[in-house]
A and B are shown apart, each in its own frame.
Chain A
Amino acid sequence: MIMVLLLLVMPAVNADVLVPGTKGVDYCFRISNMEDYPDYEFIIFGAPVTGVRRIVPGECVSFYKLSHLKLYALEKQEFERFSELISYKEHNESWRGHADYNYSIARQYFEQEHDGLYDSGLELSSYGAVAENDPLDSVEDILTIKSLAGNKFEIEKTEVVYTYTDGKTEVKPYINNVTPEPSGRFYLPFSWYLIFIPIAAAFIIFWILRKRKK
């Protein structure tokens, strides 16, 4: 039982390094109805690495795997003021997700309340790591804005799309904000050819017991 216990308590991720025997799962999130709010810009802000990023409609936003992010909405006019304040300058499309800005001023900005700034209260982080034989390949969260008015920004995770290594996808709804488990992901936790060990052992045990009966 040594191995089962070892794997149970082994952390999936140790600092920035994946523990051997595990693999990272690609994660991103998408806001399904951003187009319904053309008067707003949507921003993620978090650390480490990710910093400030403006979300483009339709984009599935991926970020550094150890980042913890918060999601904000800014009225267009307030976004202009914010951009000037932190000297925000996006790179071209091929550099999507990269921008120059003053991080410490941005952090101070989000710590205070501002007219036209709406905090969703939602915190986002990546999916983490799974066993290396796990067929789960990527995870996409679908977020839906429920309301954005009168200093209130309500957004919820409504669906999650699991993609497996064979290319199949599965869409599951969030119920009471609980992440649904991916289904149909049976896998041998070791290489298939090692299955001969318990099968051979079972045959030998069976043979010994049968021989004794004779």
Chain B
Amino acid sequence: MSYTDIILLGALVLTILIEFVVLWIAFRRPLRMLGYSALINSLTLPAAYIIDTFLGFYITEVIVFIAEIFLIKLLLQSTYKKAIIVSLIANLITALISFVALMF
């Protein structure tokens, strides 16, 4: 397993946990939210990694943000408004934590 693989898996676990907290606050039912967070991020994070090499960071972020809106809407059977808010908050928090981690 290469260093990049370890980074990918580490970031995946961390992102799943962070987005789980956001989903839990928004929708309750912790166990189910942990599963949904794992499913959503296991799909979007590796895909984003590949897309990023072609389209760059910002476009990739927008694509992931939009993709997660639909995934949250479908899986959690929420309204679009709530899905947009949850996706926005989840992605903003993970981005913010990345910036803070890099500062130290």
A5 and B98 within 8 A (CB): yes
B7 and A198 within 8 A (CB): no
A122 and B50 CA atoms in complex are apart in Å by 36
Complex interface: chain A residues within 8 A of B11 (CB): 2-3, 6
Instruction: Please tell me which one of the listed residues B49, B71, B94 contacts residue A205 in the complex, with CB atoms under 8 A apart.
Output: B71
- Tell yes or no: A15 within 8 A of B by CB: no
Interface residues on A, range: 20 to 34
Chain A interface secondary structure, helix, strand, loop or mixed? helix
Complex interface: chain B residues within 8 A of A1 (CB): 15, 45, 48, 61, 64, 91, 94-95, 98
A189 and B57 within 8 A (CB): no
- B:1-16 near A, CB below 8 Å: 1-5, 7-12, 14-15
A6 and B91 CA atoms in complex are apart in Å by 14
Complex interface: chain B residues within 8 A of A8 (CB): 52, 57
B98 and A201 within 8 A (CB): no
Residues of B within 8 A of A (CB): 1-5, 7-12, 14-15, 38-40, 42-50, 52-53, 57, 60-61, 64, 71, 74-75, 91, 94-95, 97-99, 101-102
Closest 3 CB pairs of A and B: A3-B11, A201-B42, A20-B3
